[in-house]
Each structure stands twice: as C-alpha cells, then as structure tokens.
Structure 1
Amino acid sequence: MNKKLEHKAESCWKIYSSPDHKSEMNGLADRYLDFLTKCKTERETVEYVRKAVEDAGFSDNLDSSACYKVFRDKTIFIARKGKRPLAEGFRLVGAHADAPRLDLKQHPLYEEVGIGMAKTHYYGGIRKYQWLARPLSLHGVVVTKEGKKISIVIGEKDSDPVLTIGDLLPHLAYKQADKKLSDAFEAEKLNIIMGHSLSESEDDSGDDVDPSVKTKILEILNEKYGIVEEDLFSSEMYIVPAGPARYVGLDKSIIGAYGQDDRVCVFLALQAMLSEPEPEYTQIVLFYDKEEIGSEGSTGAKSLFFEYTLQDLIDAWEPDVKLSHVLMKGKALSTDVHAAVDPDYQDVHEKLNSAYFGYGPCFCKFTGHRGKVGANDAHPEYVGWLRGILAEAGVPWQMAELGKVDLGGGGTVAKFLAVYGMDIIDFGTPVIGMHSPFELTSKVDVYATYQAFRAFLRN
C-alpha cells in the first residue's frame, strides 16, 4: 500500500525540535505555571484575564475596537475587530474557568472531639478519596451585610498554615476496604480540619466565656479579615489544593497542577488572542463559569450573557446588522481538555480513537454519552476547513473520542453555542488525571494548542 495514503500522527517533540521552538515553548510553560499558581477559582481567573487584556489596551467600553465585558466577576467576553466587518462572522474561542473543588456549606463551622471542622459540599465530578490527607487551601470572597467585599486566601504563602481532610488509618479500615469505592468514601465525611486550640475570649460584658475551638477559628477569621460567622452566609468559600503548579518528570516535560481542566484552554486562548492583534475576522474569546455542573446559572453557557453582549457589540460596531445573521456566520472552538491515555489504565480506552500525550491538541467531533446523547456533532465541512488552516500553519493535532463507547462520555459548552447556528467543535489539550487535584498536561501539547488557537484566531 502507498504509505502516503495513510494518516500517521507525528510526535510534537519532533515537529517542535528547533531551538527557537524550544525556547518559546519553555517561556510559555513558565508563564502557564505562574497562571495556574495564581488562579485557583473562576473569580481569580477572570481577574487575571481582565488585567491582562487591559494591559494590552482593551477597554470595557464596547464601542472600542478592542473591548471586553465582565459579568459578576465570573465570566468574561473579549472582542477585537477584524479587517472584515462583523457581518461576515467571527472566530470564537470559548472555554470554562471553573474547576471541580469543595465548597464550604452555608453553616460550615463546628467542633468535634476537640478539633475545629468545616462541612463541605463537593462541586463537579470528583473522586472523593483523592482529596483526603493532602494540603488544602481556602480561597473565596465574603460580602458583609454592609456590602463590603472581602477576598480570602489562606494556605498559599510559605508562611500560611494549610488545611486538610483526615483519612482513616489502615489498621481500622478493614470494613471500609471491603466496600465499593462509591460507598467507602462519603461526601458528608469530606470535612476540613480547621484548628485545634481553644479560644481565650470574653463576651461583650467582659465576662469569660467557655473556651471553644470553633470560637478560636472565628477569632482568627475576625482578626485577619474582620468577618463574623453570619458573614459566611453571603460568601463563596472554596477548598482547593494548596501549593504551586510544578513541572513533573526528570526532563520537566509535564506540567502538574490543579484546575488544568479547563484553565489550560483559558490561558492559551488569552495568550493566542494577545499574540494575533491584526485578525482577518472579528475575534471573540469567551470564558464561562459553571461548566462542571452543567453550565447552569447566570454565568454559565446556558445563560444569555453571550447573546446579550454580542447584541451590544453589534449595536456599537454595525447597528444595521441582525444578531441572527452574525451568529450563523460564526465559527467557534469549544476549547475543553480531552482525556489522554493513562499508561496504567489503557483498558478503558479504545486505542485507535484515543488521545495521546505529545501528539498535539485533540479534536472531539462529538461528545455526549453512549449513543451520542447530549452531543454536539460537528459537521464534516467544518472539520475539513479546520484541518486546512492547521495544515497551512504547520500545527499538529489528533482526533479522538472520550473512552470506550459503553464506558465513556462527557459534555462541554459546545452544544449551548451550537443552538445559534454557528459552526463549532470541541478542541483542546489532552490531560491525564482529569478532575483530580493534580492534573497532568504535556508541555509540548500546551505549546501546540497555543499555536492552533493562534492559527484559528488570525484566519
């Protein structure tokens, strides 16, 4: 058979082997590690993005040719005029800024056997046992009844204490070991160890009160942030892994960090847009919240924030153009990560249609589960067009689906944008350990994804 007729993926390490590529790749990876270390919540991520686009000259006035709009500090719309009018369509890269985590409950604080604890409710799809016996940090925002907004971060500085969830010692875990995994680790036991020492406070009359570990925790929060227990009712308090993003492997070829699903695509889409200041078509970059729980709420992809903001942009740039006309001319990438084959768990993948570390960003033509239920299924005309622009740019890529048919499946924001009639497909960086507290990406895949986003946004 003529080998030229066959498709054979090539390692990105071969394609990007020149000193210039390696230098650019390493610089991008260093900046990406810094971003992951600083951005562990959607609010922190959106604020990082807002500052970056402002530093690049973008305005929060939609009349500007380079503009942005932030909504509720959790989602952001960024646009730049192209050489062609908006009426001819746009190039949109969408990603989500939220990640699986533990949220403090409304009444979190309590004391048990001399230890101060906090109750949690997990957010998104986690494997509960992965959150036990590891350093954790507290990130969040508290709003007082006077309307004062207070940001809280504990556990990230070297001088900070960290938090944790205790685990059962193996000597007493025989019954637990015999249970199914789903039964052995209970959500109501994902309780945070907050402290252990007793308060030494007085009440308002000056009388001594019974010492309490819970009171001691409240005293510390009050001294550091000026808040009281009631303020926790109007707060968003997240428990996330503590510590910086790190290189993994003796060759520093892998990036390990919390929240790479989907902040890798957030970071790379931002960097790609800032690197392509003179596009042919209008560029739009859109970062959502709430993808991990079904894209619900006013800041998720099911909301009308994108539609309303695009209408405002049309009114500012080309007021005689219909919203529906612009939407149906659009081309979009739903940039979310894809499961790479884990060397220890190869059996859950159908290898011919799986993503591999080091072979570039991955197209997922359809998502959903089992019989493609709940899927966006990209049209072949659009897939062919994307192949063409990536080939012209010399960017490697791969095509896969998520696991074996009866075992795998998942969802993204693609189907919520597809309803507008635009062309859209899922496309993102392969990840090992997705939804774990320490996800892994290949440094060369991160670089290849960045180059792919650049090619798309400048086309």
Structure 2
Amino acid sequence: MKLKHEFKNAWGVIRENNAMEQVNNYSKEYMNFLDVGKTERTSAKEIIRLAKEHGYISIEEAINNKSVKPGDKIYANNKDKGVALFLIGEKNLESGMKIVGGHIDAPRIDLKANPLYEDANLGFFKTHYYGGIKKYQWTALPLAMHGVVILQDGKKVDISIGEDHSDPVFCITDLLPHLAADQSQKKLAEGITGEGLNILIGSQPSEGVDKDPVAYHVLKILNEKYGMVEEDFLSAEIEIVPAGCSRELGLDRSMILGYGQDDRSCSYAAVKAILQTESPKYTAVALCVDKEEIGSNGNTGMKSRFFENTVAELIALEGNYNDLKVRRAMANSKVLSADVAVGYDPNFPEVYDKRNSAFIGNGLVLCKYTGSRGKGGCNDANAEFNAEVRRIFNEANVVWQTAELGKVDQGGGGTIAYILAELGAEVIDCGVAVLSMHAPYEVVSKADVYEMYKGYKAFFNINK
C-alpha cells in the first residue's frame, strides 16, 4: 500500500499512447480559437460557427419545429456574449444533464463612455479596467481594440484594430527609469493607477483645427472607417486587449503563451468535447458564459436566468411542461465548473502549499473548493461527486491531479460553481493549471489542455 498517491506527468502517458500528433493538432486548433476569440463576443461567434458546422441549430429553430428528440443538437445565443450547446440525450431533461460550464470573458481594459481627449499634442482614450488585473503589466505593450458601436441610425458596427500585421496598435505609456525615483517607492499596486491606464492613440493634428486637433484627427479617421461621431462612444462597447497571436512557448514547444486562457482554455475544451460526442444517455451541455471576471452579474452572466430559461424552453418542447420539471432538471444535473487553477510557480513558492498545488504538465486539475479565508463563497464539492468524477477520469485514462488556490489566508478567488450548486446540481471545479494568471499573456501546458478535453469528453459520454 502506497502512503501517498503520486500524480502522473501527462507527457509520459501521452508518449505511451502515441498521442503526440493528437496533442499538437488539438493545440493548433485551440490556439486558433484564442486568436479569433479575443473578446467574449468574438469567442461566442466562433463557438456558434463551430456548432453550426457540426449540425447544431438555434433554439429558435427548435421552437419553430415544435419538438425535441434524442440526438438533436441545439445552441442558444445569449446576446452575442454567451452560448449554450445542447446535445439531447436518451433520458428526458428532468432526469438531469451533464454540464461543462466555463466563461469566455477575460480581464481587459474598457473604454469609458466619454473616452477621447488630447493633452500635450497627444491623443488618448480614458479607460476603466475589467476584472482583476495587475495594472503595471498593461503598460508599454502593443494593444488592440475590439468591440461594437451602435451608430445614431441604429446600425451596428464591429471594430477590430491591431490584430493584422498592417494595422496600427496602441499602448499605455510608462515612466522612464531615470525619472521613476518616486514611482519606485510606491507599493506595486500603486505604481500605475486605474486613472493612469490611458490609451495612446495618436499625435498628428488635423489642419485648420484650433481646438484639440489631434483628437479631431483621430475622430475623423474613425468616422471615415466606421461612420462614427463622438456621441457614438456613448453607445459603444470597446475593449482593449493585447495585440497579436498566441505562441508556442519553450524550446520544446510544450506550452502555450496567450491572452485570455482564463477561461477560454476550458470553454474551448468543453465545446470541442461536446462536438465530438454522440448519443449520450443524459443531455450534454457546453455552457459558455460572460461576466465571470466581475462576479457573474448582468444578463449575460451566470447569475442571469438565461440558462434556466433555455432549459425550460427545451422541456416545453418535450411536452407536458411544468415548472417542477425545470427545478428537477437542475437539481439532478452534474456539472464540471470548467475554470482554470493556479499553477505552482517556483519563482514565488511562499504563496503555495506545495503538497496541494497544481503542477504544469500533471494533467487536468480537480479543485474541491475555491473561495477565500475559511472557504468563503465557495461550492465545496461533496465526497460522493468528487469520487464519481475521479472514477470517470481513471476509467478513461485521463491524467488528473488535485489542487487548491494557494495557502490558507493568502488570498482566494471564485468560479461559477456555486451558482449552479445553488440550484441543487452536483458541481466540482475542473480545469488546467495556469502560470501568470490574469496577466496579458498567460501560460498553459499543451499536455494539460489535451487531457482536459479528454476528461470533459469522458464526462459527457459516461452513462451513469
């Protein structure tokens, strides 16, 4: 009898199974998703495109067909910012669903409603950051601009500047070391302030304009390209994200460096897994939501009624609808809350409990609880469901490990797990280890994201 379970390294198992080609192919597809899905809107759009390619129809089409049956593939679009994919199972929805739920928003910088101004012959946008970021990490980086603008006539215009090699990019300036004596004495969190995250957007003045000629020139360019006037910023959603594509990391190309991997790594795995699933006993659901990074609020966050209402629509299509069936469907469901875990970083060992940390390359991560200081705000999965998921992964030869979020009282965080648990579902957090989480560029292992996809697929296909 072994005293302690030893977690496997995923690369060894992958080599034993001659799966290197599958890992590399999956990684390429995933990196393409990261590059296309720089925002929650573009991620949702790409998920819907992939779903349609695999025969999924919209919930509106299903309602028009007035029926739903095992094998049907249905997607629901939540205001272009969230998506739920349903593969209808043999058993009715009242019996419960197998749900893998993650989020597709990521920490970023948003433009304020009145962003445009000029100072010292330079044009800037005022911003407000979204989610938990270290503000200093966003300075002196090439940045891209994405979003939508609703013009005065109601026309919706998509904006994307900074991703193509021929595009200009933007940046937030920082203070040179020679003049940074006072800045260097500040606490790390105060070196760059929230109000200091101003996006540099231009320096060329318009001819014949006396007041704010640089800002005027910038607005003129936006008007020519998108038909915008300054007032249109009031009805715009414009996000600032790192420019450029994700890259392979390391001489051995074993890792992926990219923006937004928390939590698009998990959401993509959920989508890929359900698209590779056929004829499940219980309805399989890949649920990709917005607003997790700011508390899951709003009508596109997990706290909204979107998912519950969509399930109600599908139950109505089964026939003999009543509200109790919806409640039973939720309470009988089993959920993998698809969110990343913090990876152990030997550069900062003081914040981790090494015996209870996730390690890059050791596969999929099960996290029984998140929360902070006394498990506050967490789901805390029960032993029965924890063991059930463990058995599923073992039977499918999925490489997995367990972890928690750093040392007790060191900090903490949360996921969408508790929200579905409040409806009675069995839920456990399940994702991959990430280094530099919430930084403009995050790090994951190719082996880990592949094992995550395998684990989610096994969860969808288990008939228990």
TM-fit CA distance, 1:116: 0.5
CA-based RMSD: 1.3
| Contact 2:358/2:403 (8 A) holds in 1 | yes
Distance of 1:87 and 1:131 partners within structure 2: 47
Matched, 1:74 2:46: no
TM-fit CA distance, 1:85: 2.5
Distance of 1:193 and 1:68 partners within structure 2: 40
Structure 1 gap segments, 5+ residues each: 202-207
Q: 1:32 matched to which residue of 2?
A: 30
Letter in 1 for 2:49: K
Distance of 2:43 and 2:283 partners within structure 1: 24
The within-5 A match list for 1:2-151 is 2-3=1-2, 6-18=4-16, 20-60=18-58, 61-62=61-62, 63-64=67-68, 65-151=72-158
The within-5 A match list for 1:36-435 is 36-60=34-58, 61-62=61-62, 63-64=67-68, 65-200=72-207, 212-320=213-321, 322-435=325-438
CA spacing shift, 1:435–1:210, aligned 2, 3 Å? closer
TM-fit CA distance, 1:83: 2.4
Distance of 1:123 and 1:6 partners within structure 2: 41
Distance of 1:139 and 1:319 partners within structure 2: 45
| SS of aligned partner of 1:236 | strand
Distance of 2:207 and 2:48 partners within structure 1: 43
TM-fit CA distance, 1:320: 4.5
Distance of 1:318 and 1:394 partners within structure 2: 39
| SS of aligned partner of 1:355 | coil
Letter in 2 for 1:335: A
| SS of aligned partner of 1:307 | helix
| Contact 1:340/1:355 (8 A) holds in 2 | yes
Q: Deviations over 1:188-228 (max 9, x none)?
A: 11100000001136xxxxxx765700000001101111111
Distance of 2:246 and 2:4 partners within structure 1: 39
| SS of aligned partner of 1:17 | helix
Matched, 1:448 2:451: yes
Distance of 1:50 and 1:378 partners within structure 2: 31
Q: Deviations over 1:59-106 (max 9, x none)?
A: 113345210110111111211111223232110010001000000011
Distance of 2:31 and 2:140 partners within structure 1: 24
Q: Deviations over 1:314-337 (max 9, x none)?
A: 111243461112111110111000
Aligned residues: 451
| SS of aligned partner of 2:19 | helix
Structure 2 gap segments, 5+ residues each: none
Q: Deviations over 1:363-384 (max 9, x none)?
A: 1101110011111010100011
CA spacing shift, 1:441–1:318, aligned 2, 3 Å? farther
Moved more, 309-318 or 14-23: 14-23
| SS of aligned partner of 1:199 | coil
CA spacing shift, 1:278–1:20, aligned 2, 3 Å? farther
TM-fit CA distance, 1:183: 2.0
| Contact 1:86/1:318 (8 A) holds in 2 | no
| SS of aligned partner of 1:303 | coil
TM-fit CA distance, 1:162: 0.5
Distance of 1:168 and 1:198 partners within structure 2: 24
Q: Deviations over 1:378-437 (max 9, x none)?
A: 010001111111111011111111000010310110111101101001110110000000
Moved more, 19-28 or 148-157: 19-28
CA spacing shift, 1:318–1:331, aligned 2, 3 Å? farther
| SS of aligned partner of 1:16 | helix
Distance of 1:225 and 1:261 partners within structure 2: 31
CA spacing shift, 1:24–1:337, aligned 2, 3 Å? same
| Contact 1:200/1:211 (8 A) holds in 2 | no
Distance of 1:6 and 1:168 partners within structure 2: 51
TM-fit CA distance, 1:6: 3.2
Distance of 1:182 and 1:458 partners within structure 2: 46
| SS of aligned partner of 2:57 | coil
| SS of aligned partner of 1:255 | strand
